[in-house]
Chains A and B, each alone.
Chain A
Amino acid sequence: MSDAAQIDGAPERARAGLSAEELRNLLRWMILARRLDRECIALQRQGELTVYPGFEGQEAAQVGSVTALGAEDFVWPTFRELAAAIVRGVDPVQYLQYHRGTWHGGPYDPRATRFGPISIPIATQIPHAAGYALGQKLDGTGAVTLVYFGDGATSEGDFAEAANLAGVWKLPLVLFCQNNGWAISMPTAQQTSGEIWRRAEGFGFPGVRVDGNDVLAVREATDAAVARARAGEGPTLIEAMTYRIGAHSTADDPARYRDDAEVQRARVGDPITRFGSWLAERALADDGFVAACDDEAERFAMDVRTGVIATPAPPTSWMFDWVWAEPPAGFDRMRGEALG
C-alpha cells in the first residue's frame, strides 16, 4: 500500500486557514524536528546525552498544536516536546542540557521563551498550567496556556485535579493530550477503559479527538480551542491520536512488550510523508522544497550536535547557586564544605 493511497482515502479538507507559506512551514518544522530527534538518539548512543526520550511519529501533534499559539501564550511541556520547543524558539542546545545531564529543568529561560521547564513527574505540569492560566485570567492578559501530557498522565490525580480546576474557574487553558498509544510498556487500553477526550464532559467543558498524525487536523482543533480560551469561554481537552514509533526512551526496549508489526503499520501513516504528499498533490511544495528542508535539517542537526558536545560539565558551585533567592544562615557554610 502506497502512502499516496492512504492520503487519497482521506477526506479533502480546508487548509486550516493557512497560507501556502504557512503550510510549507509546518512541513519544514516537522522535518527539522525529526532530524533533530534522530540526532539526539545518536548523541545518546555516543555517550553525549544521558537517557533521551524520542518523539518520532508525534511531529504533527506537536507542530500542529504549538503553531496555533501566539507569542504571548505559554506552553507547559512534559519531557517529550522537543519539537514544540524548537518551534517556540527554545534553543535546542540549551534544552538538551537537560538530557546532557548538565542541568535540571532545562537552562532556557521559561519566561522569555514562554515554554515551561521540562517536567518528568507524570501530569504534575498540568496543575502548573492551570495556575499559570489563572494568573493570566486574573491579570486579564487574554493570553492562552497550553499544556501537553500523554495518555498515561490521564490516569494520574494531578490530571483530574487540574482539569477540574480549569473547568470550575473557566480557565483559558488548552489541555492537549498526545495519545501515542503507549505509556512505557502499557498500551492505552490498559491505561483506561474509556476514551480520554470524553473525560472533558465530566469536567464541564468540550473534548475533541483528532487524528494526531494529520498536522492540519491538529492545527484546526487547536486553533478552535485557543480561540475559545481567548474569548473567555474556558478550557478544551484535545486528544490527538498519534503513535510513539520509537522506544519510550533510549533506556527502553519496546521489543519486550510490543509487536514490531504494529510499529510497521503505524509507519504507513507517517505524519511527515502524509503531509508532504498532501502538499505535493496541491502543488504547494515540490521535491525541491523537501530537499531544501532536508538540507536545512542536516545543518541544524549538525549545529546542535556541535553545541551539545561543546557544552562542558558545570562547575560544582552550580549545585548551590540557585537553591535559594535568599540563602539561609548556614547554607554558605555547607557550600564552603562542598567546594573546599
Chain B
Amino acid sequence: MSEWTMSGALNRALGDALTQDPRVLVFGEDVGRSGGVFRVTDGLQTQHGAARVFDTPISEAGITGAAVGLCFAGWRPVVELQFDAFSYPALEQVVDHVAKMRNRTRGRVDLPITLRIPAFGGIKGKEHHGESPETYYAHTAGLKVVVPSGALDAYRLLRGAIADPDPVVVLEPKARYWSKESGELSLDGPGLGEARVVRGGDDATIVTYGAMVSRALDAAAALADADGLHARVVDLRSLSPLDDELLARCARETGRIVVVHEAPRTLGIGAEVAARVMELAFDHLQAPVARVTGWDVPYPPASLEQHYLPSVERIVDAVRSVSSY
C-alpha cells in the first residue's frame, strides 16, 4: 500500500494519461520546467517531452481558446489555469466556446478539454488566491465540474475528466494538495458524475465537497462522540451534474440535510442541492435544508479566512439544529 499526496496522485494521473493516449497534451503557465506552482506537473515534461508538456505565456484566454482549436485538430488538451481568480480572463472562451462548441457543430466536433484550476481557500493565500468559482462553471450548460477531496479520488476524477469526451472543469482544492491518503491509485470506483458516501449514518446527511469533506468528517465524529448523533457524510465529487439519485436517497433515509461549502451562500451549490432535495424528496424531509457556507463577502485576507470558511463548530451546530427541528 502506497501513501499519496493529492498533488502526487494528480501528477500520476496526468502521467498515466500522457502515456496511454498519445493525443493528450498538458500545458499552462509554469507547468513545464518548474513542474507547476503546486508541483502537480513535476517531471512530466522530462518524461513526455516539451512537445506534449509545455509552458505557455501568461494568457489564460489565449491558451483556453487554443485548446478549442487543438480539439478541432484532434488533440486532447489538459490546461492548467494557475489559480481560481486567474481563470476569469478565460471565462469568455469557456462560456462562449468550450461549453458550446459541440452543440454549435451539431456534434461534429467533440471538445475533450480538461481545465484544471487550483481553487478554494484555506492556505493563507494572497488576495485572488482563495476563491470558489464553481457556480460560474456549474451554471454553464455544456460543462462538467468536479472537485476531488482526497488523493485517491483525485486520481480517479482527473483520469475520468481527461477520458471524458466533453469538457470538464476540475477544481483542485489547494488546501488538500499535501493531504495524504494510503491506497492504490485505480480507475475503479464511482464514475465522473457520481457522489459517494464517505461516512455512514442515519440521523442527518452532511453534503459537501472539496476541502470541506475533511471538516464534515471531523464534525460527524464530534457529533457521534458528544451527542450520539450519526451524521452521514456525502462527498459530491461532481457539482455538474449533481448526483440526484444519491441526494434523494439520503433525504429519504436521513430526513435531514446540511450542505457545506466554502463558496458564498447566495446561489452557491447549496441552493441547488436544497432545491433538488425539495423536488425529489420533500415528503421525507424532517427539517428545512441548512446551509453552512462562506459569507456573501469577498474572500478575506489570510488572518481572517478561518472566520469565513465553514468551521467544524458551525457544521456541528447546523446538524444539531436540523436534528432538533
Give the one of B72, B97, B102, B142 with max A CB within 10 A: B72
Give the contact stretch, choosing among A129-137, A220-228, A298-306: A129-137
Chain A residue with Cβ nearest B59: A161
C-alpha gap A121/B193 in the complex (Å): 31
Are B57 and A164 in contact, with the CB atoms below 8 A?
yes
B227-276 with Cβ < 8 A to chain A: 240-245
Are B165 and A103 in contact, with the CB atoms below 8 A?
no
Residues of A in contact, count (CB < 8 Å)? 46
B155-201 with Cβ < 8 A to chain A: 164-166, 193
Contact with A along B32-60 (1 / 0, CB 8 A): 00000000000000000001000011010
Which residues in A have their C-beta under 8 angstroms from that of B100? Answer: 104-105
Are A135 and B106 in contact, with the CB atoms below 8 A?
no
Are A165 and B59 in contact, with the CB atoms below 8 A?
yes
Among candidates B68, B106, B107, residue contacting A131 with C-beta atoms closer than 8 Å? B68
Q: Do most interface residues of chain A lie in helix, strand or loop, or is the interface mixed?
A: helix
Contact with B along A136-155 (1 / 0, CB 8 A): 10110000010000000000
Q: How large is the interface on B (under 10, 10 to 19, 20 to 34, 35 or more residues)?
A: 35 or more
Tell me whether B96 is interfacial, beta carbon within 8 Å: yes
Are A165 and B56 in contact, with the CB atoms below 8 A?
yes
Given contacts A165-B62, A323-B141, contact A111 B242 (CB under 8 A): no
C-alpha gap A138/B74 in the complex (Å): 11
Tell me whether A57 is interfacial, beta carbon within 8 Å: no
User: What is the distance, in angstroms, from B16's C-beta to the closest C-beta of chain A?
Assistant: 21
C-alpha gap A130/B51 in the complex (Å): 15
User: What is the distance, in angstroms, from A222's C-beta to the closest C-beta of chain B?
Assistant: 20
User: What is the distance, in angstroms, from B134's C-beta to the closest C-beta of chain A?
Assistant: 16
Are B59 and A131 in contact, with the CB atoms below 8 A?
no
Chain A residue with Cβ nearest B62: A161
Are A323 and B102 in contact, with the CB atoms below 8 A?
yes
Are B65 and A126 in contact, with the CB atoms below 8 A?
yes
Are A127 and B93 in contact, with the CB atoms below 8 A?
yes
Are A109 and B61 in contact, with the CB atoms below 8 A?
no
Given contacts A131-B66, A322-B103, A325-B102, contact A124 B97 (CB under 8 A): yes
Tell me whether A168 is interfacial, beta carbon within 8 Å: yes
Are A132 and B65 in contact, with the CB atoms below 8 A?
no
Tell me whether A326 is interfacial, beta carbon within 8 Å: yes
Which residues in B have their C-beta under 8 angstroms from that of A145? Answer: 69
B126-168 with Cβ < 8 A to chain A: 141-142, 144, 164-166
Are A124 and B92 in contact, with the CB atoms below 8 A?
yes
C-alpha gap A168/B67 in the complex (Å): 16
Which residues in B have their C-beta under 8 angstroms from that of A330? Answer: 241-242, 244
Which residues in B have their C-beta under 8 angstroms from that of A331? Answer: 241
Tell me whether B109 is interfacial, beta carbon within 8 Å: yes
Are B109 and A110 in contact, with the CB atoms below 8 A?
yes
Which residues in A have their C-beta under 8 angstroms from that of B101? Answer: 105, 117
User: What is the distance, in angstroms, from B73's C-beta to the closest C-beta of chain A?
Assistant: 3
Chain B residue with Cβ nearest A117: B104
User: What is the distance, in angstroms, from A111's C-beta to the closest C-beta of chain B?
Assistant: 6
Tell me whether A107 is interfacial, beta carbon within 8 Å: yes
User: What is the distance, in angstroms, from B51's C-beta to the closest C-beta of chain A?
Assistant: 6
Among candidates A116, A127, A157, residue contacting B64 with C-beta atoms closer than 8 Å? A127
Chain A residue with Cβ nearest B60: A161
User: What is the distance, in angstroms, from B184's C-beta to the closest C-beta of chain A?
Assistant: 26
Are A131 and B142 in contact, with the CB atoms below 8 A?
no
C-alpha gap A273/B77 in the complex (Å): 47
Tell me whether B282 is interfacial, beta carbon within 8 Å: no
Among candidates B71, B105, B166, residue contacting A324 with C-beta atoms closer than 8 Å? B166
Are B66 and A134 in contact, with the CB atoms below 8 A?
yes
Are A130 and B62 in contact, with the CB atoms below 8 A?
yes
Tell me whether A199 is interfacial, beta carbon within 8 Å: no
Contact with A along B101-123 (1 / 0, CB 8 A): 11111111110000000000000
Which residues in B have their C-beta under 8 angstroms from that of A130? Answer: 62, 65-66, 69
Which residues in A have their C-beta under 8 angstroms from that of B61? Answer: 127, 157-158, 161
Give the one of A127, A162, A329 with max B CB within 10 A: A127
Chain B residue with Cβ nearest A323: B103
Given contacts A105-B104, A326-B166, contact A127 B109 (CB under 8 A): no
User: What is the distance, in angstroms, from A86's C-beta to the closest C-beta of chain B?
Assistant: 19
Which residues in A have their C-beta under 8 angstroms from that of B75? Answer: 135, 138
Chain A residue with Cβ nearest B52: A138
Which residues in A have their C-beta under 8 angstroms from that of B144? Answer: 328
C-alpha gap A130/B73 in the complex (Å): 11
Are B103 and A124 in contact, with the CB atoms below 8 A?
no
Are B110 and A325 in contact, with the CB atoms below 8 A?
yes
Are B66 and A328 in contact, with the CB atoms below 8 A?
no
Are B164 and A128 in contact, with the CB atoms below 8 A?
no
A74-106 with Cβ < 8 A to chain B: 74, 76, 103-106
User: What is the distance, in angstroms, from B107's C-beta to the closest C-beta of chain A?
Assistant: 4
Chain B residue with Cβ nearest A147: B69
C-alpha gap A328/B168 in the complex (Å): 12
C-alpha gap A111/B106 in the complex (Å): 12
Among candidates A103, A132, A138, A328, residue contacting B193 with C-beta atoms closer than 8 Å? A328
Are B67 and A131 in contact, with the CB atoms below 8 A?
yes
Given contacts A128-B68, A165-B56, A331-B241, contact A139 B166 (CB under 8 A): no
3 smallest CB-CB distances across A and B, nearest first, come from A127-B65, A135-B73, A131-B69
Task: Report 23 cross-chain contacts, Cβ distance below 8 Å, ordered by A residue.
Answer: A104-B104, A105-B103, A105-B104, A117-B101, A124-B65, A127-B62, A130-B65, A131-B66, A132-B70, A134-B69, A135-B75, A136-B73, A161-B61, A161-B62, A165-B56, A318-B106, A321-B106, A322-B103, A323-B103, A328-B144, A328-B193, A328-B240, A328-B241
Contacts A74-B72, A128-B65 known; 16 new A-B pairs at CB < 8 A: A106-B104, A121-B92, A127-B64, A127-B68, A130-B66, A131-B70, A131-B77, A134-B69, A135-B70, A139-B74, A164-B62, A323-B141, A323-B142, A324-B102, A326-B164, A328-B193
Which residues on B are within 8 Å of A, measured CB to CB? 25, 51, 56-57, 59, 61-75, 77, 89, 92-93, 96-97, 100-110, 141-142, 144, 164-166, 193, 240-245
